[in-house]
Amino acid sequence: MGIYRKMQEITYEDYKNFIKKNQFVIIEDVEIKLNGVWNIKSYGPDKYINERTTVWSFPNRGDWATHKGNYRGNWSPYIPRNLILKYTKEGDYVLDQMVGSGTTLIEAKLLNRNAIGVDINLDAIMITLDRLNFANDIFSLKNEKVDIKTYVGDARNLNEIKDESIDLIATHPPYANIVSYTKTRKQSDDLSQLSLSEYLSEMRKVAAESFRVLKAGKNCAILIGDTRKHKHYVPLSFMVMQIFLEAGFILKEDIIKVQWNMKTTREKWNKKENDFYLIAHEHLFIFTKPLNNNELKKYKFSIKWW
């Protein structure tokens, strides 16, 4: 480990050429159609209310605009919507460096924020660009042009993104060895292919790059779940949380996100009664980059656990 691929921009032109030859891509054995262009029926949820507590639950995951919910491990659009509305203003820059099917970027576009999306998998970037391709070509809800860029790249090396240039990071990393996004076409840089110990050590690079590109005083939201090995509980989320704290972040929130669609776990464990519970929650950690060293020192002193 150590040499990570550099970011390579994938433009709208690249996408247009791609869809001339490809009507779909395959992610985790699932065929995902590339529409070419989308006729949008609704540009937002019907009755949206900002979340007020530290428990979030979206039984209806949300299917407005181009959100489809058919990319393995995608997050409900309500999550980036809440984060973007709470922590940014119009014109700010939002980053999702493991962008998958583009949920965060679609929300950024709808809410008039600039955005950068990165994924290790070119096919994921093609899905993202496809879903940003609204038929009536609105740039954002207010018809103002937002700057949205997509890259094939590695979350451990955000070389095209300047230091302290991002206002919000909102991302959902894969978990070690749980969901492999590139089963059909093995991709060595995919974090989901790593063992637990390798994964944790590589997440240090993700945390360091997140810290570098984020503006001081701004927030970085990471959704991450836990797992079981040999029937015992592996608190992966807290291990990742600790890694982000060690990178210099302050913990602002720990939100419990109720999980509704636990495909693999359900298929595996639902058949018989077990002596353990199905994991039905994930953690959405919100970290703040401290304004300066004094703020960090004060925080460490107040918690005194490491």
Binding site for ligand SAM (CB under 6 A): 71, 73-75, 97-98, 100-101, 103, 118-121, 124, 154-156, 172, 174, 181, 189-192
Question: How near is the Cβ of 179 to ligand SAM at its closest, in Å?
Answer: 7
For ligand SAM, give the closer residue by CB, 152 or 250: 152
Looking at beta carbons only, is 18 or 290 nearer to ligand SAM? 18
Helix or strand run (H / E) with residue 240 = helix 236-246
> Is the Cβ–Cβ distance between 76 and 106 less than 8 Å?
no
When CB distances to ligand SAM are compared, the closest residue is 100
Phi and psi torsions of 242, nearest 5°: -60, -40
Shortest spacing between CB 82 and ligand SAM, in angstroms: 14
Going across the sheet that includes 55-56, the strands are: 8-9, 148-152, 114-119, 93-96, 166-171, 214-225, 281-288, 250-258, 55-56
Specify the residue, 205 or 290, whose C-beta has the smaller distance to ligand SAM: 205
- Residue 225 C-beta: closest distance to ligand SAM, Å: 10
Q: How far is the CB of 273 from ligand SAM (least distance, A)?
A: 30
Give me the least distance between CB of 31 and ligand SAM, in Å please.
16
Transcribe 105-165 into DSSP letters.
HHHHHHTT-EEEEEES-HHHHHHHHHHT-BTT--SSTT-PPP-EEEEE-BTTB-TTSPTT-
Return d(Cα 110, Cα 103) in angstroms, integer: 11
Nearer to ligand SAM, 83 or 124 (CB): 124
CB 45 → ligand SAM: shortest distance, Å?
A: 16
Nearer to ligand SAM, 194 or 245 (CB): 194
Handedness of CA 255, 257, 258, 264 (dihedral sign): negative
Six-digit token pair at 244? Answer: 């982000």
Residues 6+ away with beta carbon under 8 Å from 271: none
Give the integer Cα–Cα distance in Å for 51 and 36. Answer: 34
Tokens of 126: 């093609």
**Distance in angstroms (rounded) separating the CA atoms of residues 80 and 201:** 26
Find the largest Cα–Cα distance for the chain: 58
Nearer to ligand SAM (CB atom), residue 119 or residue 167: 119
Smallest distance, Å, CB 296 to ligand SAM? 27
Q: CA-CA distance, 141 to 107, in Å (whole number)?
A: 10
For ligand SAM, give the closer residue by CB, 64 or 71: 71
CB-wise, 18 or 71, nearer to ligand SAM? 71
